[in-house]
Amino acid sequence: MALPNDAPNLPPGVMLTLPAEGQYVPSQSLVDLLLQARSNYDWPQGTGALPGIRLVIASKIFRFCSPSFGAAIDRHASYFFNSLPLNGIGRATQFFREWANGCQTTSRFAIYNQAGYVRNKEEYFARYLPMLSSIAKAINEIPALYMCIATNRQVAWTPADVEMSAYYWWALNGSR
């Protein structure tokens, strides 16, 4: 069976475009999906435990310490962005994922061996972080503020907000 690197779980019309200028342009359907997910995000129960090793934990710390440009990566976010269509011909990211068990029913972010860790770390810095920054900027330019559930205020997007929205949506709706 093929590795679970992406899945057809995203609604129709949810996609990114990358024009020649280099800034990602989210479709209105993607903006709506992220806006709804971010407005409802409240550390949901039962969305999956994170492995306690290098890249995931380091990225969580980076997001916490530098929320204006940091973001985390884990199994849900990697699955979401690996599944997000880009320009109608590819996917937004190419994170490497692997089966978490011999039954091939649950997948995980492939960071448990050196080759997977190195590949995913490069994807994180070279593609993922710049993409999240670009998406946050594009949404803020609309503007499409989200309602923060903690402060009950409209808030502008950061890369961490884009990541958290994708994580939350995939945890509720995506493949495992």
- C-alpha–C-alpha distance, residues 31 and 39, integer Å: 12
Q: How far apart are the first and last CA of the chain?
A: 15
Give domain limits for the chain.
16-173
Q: What is the reported pLDDT for 147? A: 85
Over residues 21-40, the mean pLDDT reads: 91
Separation of alpha carbons 81 and 131, rounded Å: 10
CA distance 41 to 146: 11
Q: Which residues, in sequence order, are CB contacts of 69 under 8 Å at separation 6+?
A: 129, 133, 158, 159
> Residue 138: its pLDDT value, please?
96
Token pair belonging to 45: 């129960």
pLDDT at 5 exceeding the cut of 90 = no
pLDDT surpasses 50 at 108: yes
Q: Return the DSSP state at 8.
A: S
Higher pLDDT, 167 or 21: 167
How much is the pTM? 0.82
Tens digits of residue pLDDT in 44-68: 444 444 633 455 566 666 666 666 6
Between CA 96 and CA 99 the distance in angstroms is 11
Mean per-residue pLDDT, 147-174 = 87
> Which residues, 6 or more positions from 65, have their beta carbon under 8 angstroms from its beta carbon?
none
What average pLDDT does the structure give for the chain? 81
Q: What percent of the chain has pLDDT over 70?
A: 77
Averaged pLDDT for residues 24-46: 82
